[in-house]
Structures are given as C-alpha cells and as structure tokens.
Structure 1
Amino acid sequence: MNRTTLRQIAGPVSFVLIVLACWFVAGMVADRMVQQELDAALHTQRQMSTSIVDNMAEVIASDLAMSRAIPATMAEMDVVQRALVQSQNYAANSEAAEPALRAALLKDPQMAAVSRFLHEAQGFSGLDQVWIVNANGICVASSSTMSNPEGAQQSFVGVDMRARGYLTSALLGAFAEAYGVGRASGEPGIFIAAPVYSDGLLVGAVVAKVGIARLRHWVAHAGTFVSDDNGVIIMAHNSALEGHALPNSRVTQMSPTERRIIYRRETFPDMLIREDTQVREQAPWVPASVAAQLFGMIEQPTPALYQNRGGLNSGLSAHLVDPLAAWPELLRNHKRDHLLVFLTLSGTVALAWVITVSYVRERRHHRATRDLAEQLQSANTLLSAEARHDALTGALSRRYFLDLLRHEIDRAHADREPLCMAIADLDHFKQINDRFGHAAGDRALEHFVDTCRAELRSSDAIGRLGGEEFGLLLPATDLAGGREVVERLRLRLKAMPSPKLPASAGLSVSIGITELSLDDLPERLMSRADTALYAAKTGGRDRTEALPPDDTAPPARTAMNAW
C-alpha cells in the first residue's frame, strides 16, 4: 500500500473521527444547557405545587376544626348529658333485640325531644347527621329520625354501634375522627365522635357525620387528592382515582372484614405512583439526583412532581401529582441543542449563522424564564385572593373576616367610635339543598351576598363564617342604627327574590346583632352576636334580634367558643 493510498484512506477516516468527536462534544454541551433549563423549570413548578398543596392542607385543617367543634360542644350540653345518663338501661345482647330497643326508644318522649334537638342542631351546623350513643353502644337519639319520622325504622335509633372503630375510641374516652362509608346510606363521609361525661363519668358519645360531597372544594385543583390514615384515596380531582390505595398503605394489611366495616368493599386498586424509572431511559442527560425527584403513573406518561402533607390532626393527608409542564419542550430542546452545537463545531463556515441562532435561543430561554416567573407571581396572587375571599360568594373568607374584626375593634376602641357586629344565617338552607339541589343552594348564598353588597356601605364588611352563616361588620354604627340596617337587609332579601332560584324557594334570613362595649374582646363580641342570632332562630326565624353590650342576657349556644 503506497503513500497516496494511505492519504486517500486517512482523509475520510479523519473526517469521520472529527464528526464523531464533534457529535460527542455537542451532546455534552446540549446536556448541560438543557439541565439548566430543567433546574429552572423544576424550581418554579415546585414553588407553585408547594403553595397549592400547603393551601389545600390549610383548608382541610380549617374545615375539620370547624366540624369538630359541633359534637365537642354538644357533649358539654346538659340536655345531651341528661339523656345519656337516663338511657343507660338501654342495652342489646344480639341483633334480634334491636327492633324492640328501637320501638322503646321511639316511644320515649325524652329521647324524642333529644332527637328533635339534634335535628335542629344539624339544620344550622352544616353536618349531614348527628346522633348520640350511650355507654352500652346503643344509639338512643338521631337527627335523621325527626327528618323522616315515617322512616324511623331506617334511622340509627336502637342500633348497636359498638363495632364502629371511631365509636370504640370515643367510648374509651378519646376524641375520634375517621373516614368511613355509611352502612345505611352508603354515602362516604368523615365521622367525628366526642365522648360525653357527666359528673366525671363517661356516659356515652356524640357522633356527627360530614358528607364528602360537602368537601369537594378540597380537590379543586387538577392532580390533587386526599387519602385517609389507611392510605385509601377518599376524594380526588380525578374521580376515577377514588377508592384506590397508595403504595404500601395500611389498608393492604387489613382483613376483608375490616375493609367491609369501614369502606363497604374489599378490593382497592393500587395507586401506582412511584419514582419514574423511565426518565433516565427517555432522557439519559437527566442527573440521577434529579430523576429521583420525579414520579410517574401508568396513566400519566409525563414525569411529575409529587407533594403530600400529612399531620392534619385528622389522619387525612393532602396530595398533589403535578406533571412537569416543560417536559415535552425540554426533550425537543435537547435534540435541537445537540444538533445546533454539532453544526457549530462542524465548521467555521456556519459560524455567523450559529451565533444568530444561539442569540435567538438565549432570548427565548430568558423569555421562557420570565414567563414562568410571571406565572408564579400570578399563581401567588390567585392563591392570596382565594385565601382572602370565599370562592363561591366573593365574601371575605372566615380567617380574613376575623382578622378584620380584630382590627376594627382596636380602631373603634382607639377612636371611641361605635361598632356593630351581626351574624346572619339563611333559614332552612338544608331544605333548599335537599329540594332543589346544591346548585340552587349555591345560588342562594350568592344572592344573599349580592343583596348585602347592595344594602350595605362600602366601609361595611361581609364574611362567610361557614356554610350558610355570614358575619356583618358595621363600623361607626350604634346598635339602633345597625338594627335598622340589618332589618332593611332582611326585608330586601324577601322582597327581591333571585331570578336564578325557583319561585318556591322562599329565601329568608335570621340575623343577630350587637354593639361593641369598651372592654369587649373579639370572642365576646362574636359570642354575643351569635346569642342574638340564636334568639332570632328560636323566636321563629326570618327576624332580627339585637343584644345590647351588657351581661344581663341569658347564656346562648357555646358552639361559638370554637370560632
């Protein structure tokens, strides 16, 4: 082989080696460039998902705290304690004894009176059901008995409820809270049980149920879901995930009998969320430390960030699976970057063109980064607005209203100006939901807030305290003037019905109002307004009651102690 032949061979071989070297180096450079983009996208999206799941956990904790206060307060009431003390002789040794117990309890006038009390309490508390159980585990009174007296046979009265886990804890003296599926209704909900003591002795428990349907706002954001302490998904934005079990969850270790008791079912499909092992196969340039932060699901091809918050003092956990929105673009960018860098290294002929493309590429990268920052700022603004205002009615949120109340009290004390606080509760709101559906109930709440805005001054404030209960704040207004204002509001609500509601809805409101005294704290002022509201409701509803700032009024409900 002569020298000419060697040169002829060496030329193409050198060209191939240079091309391969350029391709390899271009791959390394492209890997580095896209890794930086990935880091920026992960940082931005992690901030957004953290804000979402933290806000979700805060809403869950706040809602459950409000629901816990009702049975805990009822457990302190004399009427409940006396009923449980006098019902200790009701006990059952077998299921055959339940019909006789039910018949005896339904004929007992004292138990019937307690059932009426529970039914009325349910009406304004936002709970689905309330019942009391004596120390023998027998349900002696139930709110559902009075709501359907002809179907009393379907109520819990006379039923031996000792097998319920949450009740077992309550009858041992512990406050209990658990997710479950109603045995009679088949409807899921959160069951809350509070032990009842009389003269230091445990005499039974107050049990309340909050239906899952009332709590759907927990999972308003795409990708969110809530699991109980057994690892079962009880609520999800994507309803197809409800009833699935998280990996290695406690429910997989439970017996079929235990599953049937709690969930009324035995099988729970796996929620296959795990570290996405396909990320490195699809994109080898992703560092192993970053790939370990990405999760995948069978029905979710895009890798996602996974956030969860437990420790909500209820056994519930908030979760968010947030697909990485920038992932498809990152894959495309990597291929493009690889080729562009390769062309840059391949020769100086295209140098000017490569510089122009790189400049445009950097401008696009900075624009994308700025857009992501603007999206983060918009998301934070939206979350701040959601925390300040009720999403349905636009009224102030409970937390912000209470903060405003404290501020206005301090200002009124400092300026020596009068201040009125009122609490309004829509009458028979549950009946509107039951007769016309929850959409009609939402329209009723919106109409009430719109009426308040039309009647009140711009300096006044309205906040949603929970369910159909609203707080009204009237600065620089004495009790006489405040009563005239809320009375005009009450009359206007009746006189101008909403065109979005059926004509037979018959919307009305009960209002209790009081005035700030010199030594009032927020708790005392709000409790006195609630006392006036209670007087309005017990006085027949659709009326206004005013309570002056003194200590001569009789004590009212103690439920507001938990506000």
Structure 2
Amino acid sequence: MNRTNLRAAAGPVSLLLIAFVCWFAAGLAADRMVQQELNAAVRTQRQMSASVVDNMAQVIASDLAMFRAVPATMAELDTIQHALAQSRNYAANGAGAESPQRDTLLKQPALAAISRFLKDAQGYSGLDIIWLVNANGLCVASSNANAPRSLVGIDMRSHAWLTNALLGAFEEIYGVSPRHREPGIFIAVPVYNDGALVGAVVARVGIARLRHWVAHPGTFVTDGNGVIIMAHDNALENHALPGSRATQMSAAERSELYRRDHFADLSIRPVSQLRDDAPWVPNALAGQFFQTPVHQSPALYEVRDGLNSKLASHIVDPVAAWPELLYTHRRDRLLVFVTLAGGAALLCVLTLSYLRERRHHSATRHLAEQLQSANTLLSAEARHDALTGALSRRYFLDLLRHEIERARHAGEPLCMAIADLDHFKQINDRFGHAAGDRALEHFVGTCRIELRDGDAIGRLGGEEFGILLPATALAAGFETVERLRIRFRNAPSATLPAPVKLSVSIGITELGPDDPAERLMSRADHALYAAKSGGRDRSEAVRAGDTAPPARAAVTAW
C-alpha cells in the first residue's frame, strides 16, 4: 500500500478517533454538570422530606401522649381501684367466651356507676371505647356496657394488648377489635390497690380519628411488627415491610392481633437498575435512592422510629427532578460533544452554557423558595388545627403561659374556659365522621363570631376546646361563654343534616394570684365536669379560690 493510500485510510480513522475522544470527554463533562444539579435537587428535597416526617413524628407523639393520659389517670382513681378489687371474685370461663355472669355484672350498682363514668370520660377524651378488666381477665365494666355487643362478661385474656397489663406492665399496641373488626390503638394500664394488681384499664382510639397523621403524599405509619396501619395511599395499608416481625409471626398470631393471616409484602429496596440507566450517579448518592412497587423511579426514604411508642413514621418521596435530569444529561453530553468537535460552534456553546447555568441558578432559587414555603406551611400547621383552624393544643398551651405572665405583669384579670361538644360520639355514630367534622368547624366559627379579636380558641383534643379571655374578669367571662353557648345551640349549621342538634358544655375559671397554667386548666376542667354532670348544655364557673366546682345557684347568680 503506497503513502497516498495510507493517508487516505488514516483520515477516516483519525476522524473516528477524534470523535471517540470528544464523545468520551463530553460524557465526563456532562456527568460532572448533572451531578451538581442532582446534588442540589436531592439536598433540597431531602430537607423537605425530613421536615415532613419530623413534623409527622411530633404530631403522633403529641396525640398518643394525650390519649395515654386518660387511662393512666383512671388507673389512679380510688373508685376504679376499689371496683376492680371488689370484682376479683368474678372469674372468666374461657378466652373470648361470654361469661354467664354478664347479667349479674350489668346489674351491679357499683359496676353500673363505673360504666357510666367510663362513658362520660370517653365522651370528652376522644377515645372510642374504655374497658375495665379485673385480674382474672374478665371485662367487668365498659363505656358501652349496655350495647348489645359490649364486652362486659367476656374473657379478654387472649388479647395481645391485655397480656402484659395483667402482668403489671403498661401496653400500647395496634390491633383490630375482635367483635367489631375496627382497627385502632389499644392502651392498657395496670391498676393496683394497696400494692396488689387488681386489673387494668383498657382504651381504644380508632384509626379513623388519626388520619391526619398521613396527610402528606407518600407518608405511612407502621406498628411495632412492621405492618402499615395507615397510609396516605390506602392501597398500602395492611402491607408488611420485608423482614419485619409480622412476616415471622404464625398465622394464628396474625389472626389474633390483626384478624387476618396474610400480609402483602411492601419492598422498599435500593434502585436496582440505576447504574444501568444513569451510570453518572455517584455510588454514594445511588445508595440513597429507593423504589417500591408503587414508585419505580428513584425515591428518597425517611423513617423515624420510636416516637415514644412502638409506631414509626415513614415517607417515600420520589425525586421530582429525576426525569428532567435524565433529559439534561443526554442534552449536555451532546452539546459538549458539538463544542469539542467544532471550534466554529464555540460561541454558541458558551452562550448555551451561560443560559444553562442561569437556568440552573433559577431552578436552585426556585427550589429554595419552595423549601421556604414548605417550612412556612409546616409552621402554620403546627400552630393551627388542620380541621377546624383553631390553635393547636401545643401552641394554645404556650399562649396560655404567655398570657398568664402578661396578665400578672399588667395587673389585669384573665379567664380560661374549656368547652366540650355534647353527645359528639352520637353525632359521629348516627351521621358519620364527616358530620362530626362539620360540627367542630361550626363551633369554631361560632367562637370567631362571638369572641373578641384578642381572645383565643384552641383545640385540646377530640371535641374539646380551650378558650382564653385576656383582660376579662370572671363575671364578664361567664357572660361571654353563656352567649357563645346559646348562639351555638340556636344557630344551626347549613352544612349539617337538619336532625343534628348541637349543644356545648363550658367550664370557666379566673386566674388566681399564684396559679400556674396547670392549676388554671384543672379548675376550668372541674367547672366543665360540673357542667356535664349538671345535665350538659350549660356553663359553670369556678372562682380562683375555690377547690371544687360551685353549686348551681352560685353560678347562676353571675
């Protein structure tokens, strides 16, 4: 082959070699540029996901602490302790079986009084049901004792939420009600009398009351066995995490606790095809991406265990910028290749790079603004109740302490009231939880009409609300809550069915010279209890110096 032919052959080879080198270099450059965008996008989105799951964990911990307080307080009451001690001779006759002593238990005056007390406590606590179980595992009293399917007279020893309580340990566990097939969180507190274990107080709060835990897309909650008990996407509920304790339980154990013997598997695993689809993703970052059967694209996964309970909050948040990043990488490689392959296109490439960088900074700034907006929204959600718009319990209590300090410094009076909607559970049972939600919204709307701009209302839990009246003496405060009570009863809501009759019971007290916030709330709660005991749909007041609710005649004198 002569020199001319060699030159002719070397030309195409050189062009191919140069094109290959340019393409390889363009790939390296595109990898570096898109990695920067990916890092910025993931960092911003991870902050948002962490904020969501942290806020979710705080809400769960706060709600559970409120629900735990009810059975824990009941376990310390002398009436409860004595009732269980006196019922120790009633024995169970087989796990889950109904005792022939049921009619006897229902006719016992002392136990009937306890059942009525449990019913009243359930009404303002936000719990679905409360049971009293003696040391033999027999249910002797219930907040729904007279219901046809109540558990009075039923042997409850086989229930997982009761086993540890009858051994003297506090128990809090998710499960499904054996008779009503309703999922909920069961809280069991052992009861002692003169140092001896005499039984337990068991309460259940239904999952339907806790749906606000998973308000954000991609969130779900698992119990201590790794079972998804609630999720923003209902299709994920009753799935189990791979390798969790639920997958190792026997079918009998799963049936006893969950009323089902099989759980679909929800696999949250590293993205298997990521290195094939996007080899430019750094190994350290690729290990942080996950996928599920629902989310096949790369997603961020955050979990918060503990929460002062056996529950865990999770979020699977797909990387929003992923499709655009794939497109950006292909485009950038081609652009860099064109730049390296032809010097004539240098000016064009520089212009496009400038535009790309400008768009990159704009996107980063936009993501930062989104993060700031999300943080502002989360802060507002922490301050206000999502359903009613009233102040959240935590923010209301902080405001109460601040107003107490301000009132003492200024030498002004201060009134605190607690309001509880009457027969709220019956509204939920007869007309549905949506009607109950409308009733709560109607009450808060009525408060906003009747109260001053400087007054405050907060949702303490369930259908219970706190009302703060700064610079208000007790007599004026009592007149204010009376007007509120009458307006709420006489002004029906257009969003509720006509048969719904609404009323509210209110207890009010004034700030004493040395009152901390807890004592002020306790007196207001005593006054509320007096209003409930006096027949509901009424207001009662307790003066700062009183240690117990006043007589009805003293109240009506204001």
Q: Assess same fold via TM > 0.5.
A: yes
In the alignment, is the contact (CA less than 8 A) between 2:96 and 2:158 conserved in 1?
Answer: no
Question: Paired residue for 2:198, among 203, 210, 214?
Answer: 203
The AA in structure 1 aligned to 2:76 is E
For 1:44, the equivalent position in structure 2 comes to 44
Question: Paired residue for 1:417, among 412, 417, 424?
Answer: 412
Following TM superposition, by how much is the alpha carbon of 1:109 offset from its aligned partner in structure 2, in angstroms?
Answer: 2.6
Question: What is the correspondence of 1:75-114 to structure 2 with a 5 Å cutoff?
Answer: 75-94=75-94, 98-114=98-114
For 2:352, the equivalent position in structure 1 comes to 357
CA shift in 2, pair 1:100/1:59, >3 Å: same
Q: Partners in 1 of 2:44 and 2:95 — Cα distance?
A: 59
Unpaired segments of 5 or more residues in structure 2?
552-558
Secondary structure in 2 aligned to 1:145?
coil
Alignment of 1:324 with 2:319, yes or no, is yes
The farther-off stretch of 375-384 and 269-278 is 269-278
Following TM superposition, by how much is the alpha carbon of 1:95 offset from its aligned partner in structure 2, in angstroms?
Answer: 6.0
CA shift in 2, pair 1:284/1:92, >3 Å: same
Q: Partners in 1 of 2:16 and 2:548 — Cα distance?
A: 97
The AA in structure 1 aligned to 2:548 is A
In the alignment, is the contact (CA less than 8 A) between 2:422 and 2:504 conserved in 1?
Answer: yes
Deviations 1:261-288 (A, max 9, x none): 1111111111111111211111000011
In the alignment, is the contact (CA less than 8 A) between 1:45 and 1:324 conserved in 2?
Answer: yes
Question: Paired residue for 1:237, among 232, 251, 254?
Answer: 232
Alignment of 1:484 with 2:479, yes or no, is yes
Following TM superposition, by how much is the alpha carbon of 1:309 offset from its aligned partner in structure 2, in angstroms?
Answer: 0.4
For 2:510, the equivalent position in structure 1 comes to 515
Q: Partners in 1 of 2:239 and 2:166 — Cα distance?
A: 31
The AA in structure 2 aligned to 1:273 is I
Q: Partners in 2 of 1:509 and 1:340 — Cα distance?
A: 70
How much is the aligned-residue C-alpha RMSD, in angstroms?
A: 1.4
Q: Partners in 2 of 1:74 and 1:401 — Cα distance?
A: 25
Deviations 1:392-443 (A, max 9, x none): 1111111110000000000111111101111111111111111111111111
For 2:457, the equivalent position in structure 1 comes to 462
The farther-off stretch of 323-332 and 543-552 is 543-552
For 2:285, the equivalent position in structure 1 comes to 290
For 1:561, the equivalent position in structure 2 comes to none
The AA in structure 1 aligned to 2:248 is Q
Secondary structure in 1 aligned to 2:226?
coil
Question: What is the correspondence of 1:42-441 to structure 2 with a 5 Å cutoff?
Answer: 42-94=42-94, 98-146=98-146, 148=147, 151=148, 154-441=149-436
Following TM superposition, by how much is the alpha carbon of 1:312 offset from its aligned partner in structure 2, in angstroms?
Answer: 1.4
Secondary structure in 2 aligned to 1:210?
strand
Unpaired segments of 5 or more residues in structure 1?
557-563
Q: Partners in 2 of 1:93 and 1:429 — Cα distance?
A: 36
Q: Partners in 2 of 1:434 and 1:62 — Cα distance?
A: 26
Q: Partners in 1 of 2:375 and 2:508 — Cα distance?
A: 36
For 2:554, the equivalent position in structure 1 comes to none
Q: Partners in 2 of 1:420 and 1:304 — Cα distance?
A: 50
The farther-off stretch of 354-363 and 128-137 is 354-363
In the alignment, is the contact (CA less than 8 A) between 1:129 and 1:143 conserved in 2?
Answer: yes
Q: Partners in 2 of 1:449 and 1:254 — Cα distance?
A: 46
In the alignment, is the contact (CA less than 8 A) between 1:531 and 1:555 conserved in 2?
Answer: no
In the alignment, is the contact (CA less than 8 A) between 2:95 and 2:156 conserved in 1?
Answer: no
Secondary structure in 2 aligned to 1:394?
coil
For 2:23, the equivalent position in structure 1 comes to 23
The AA in structure 2 aligned to 1:145 is A
Q: Partners in 1 of 2:40 and 2:100 — Cα distance?
A: 69
In the alignment, is the contact (CA less than 8 A) between 1:227 and 1:235 conserved in 2?
Answer: yes
CA shift in 2, pair 1:34/1:494, >3 Å: same
For 2:440, the equivalent position in structure 1 comes to 445
The farther-off stretch of 379-388 and 71-80 is 71-80
Aligned length: 551
Identity %: 71
The AA in structure 2 aligned to 1:83 is A
Q: Partners in 2 of 1:136 and 1:555 — Cα distance?
A: 40
Alignment of 1:532 with 2:523, yes or no, is no
Q: Partners in 2 of 1:169 and 1:96 — Cα distance?
A: 17
Deviations 1:81-127 (A, max 9, x none): 12111111111343697341223222323222222221222122111
In the alignment, is the contact (CA less than 8 A) between 1:433 and 1:440 conserved in 2?
Answer: yes
For 1:560, the equivalent position in structure 2 comes to none
For 2:4, the equivalent position in structure 1 comes to 4
In the alignment, is the contact (CA less than 8 A) between 2:457 and 2:467 conserved in 1?
Answer: yes
Q: Partners in 2 of 1:549 and 1:8 — Cα distance?
A: 106
Q: Partners in 1 of 2:449 and 2:549 — Cα distance?
A: 34
Question: Paired residue for 1:496, among 491, 498, 509?
Answer: 491
Q: Partners in 1 of 2:229 and 2:381 — Cα distance?
A: 24
Secondary structure in 1 aligned to 2:388?
coil
Q: Partners in 2 of 1:311 and 1:298 — Cα distance?
A: 26
Q: Partners in 2 of 1:262 and 1:95 — Cα distance?
A: 14
For 2:548, the equivalent position in structure 1 comes to 553
CA shift in 2, pair 1:340/1:253, >3 Å: same
Following TM superposition, by how much is the alpha carbon of 1:157 offset from its aligned partner in structure 2, in angstroms?
Answer: 1.2
CA shift in 2, pair 1:269/1:417, >3 Å: same
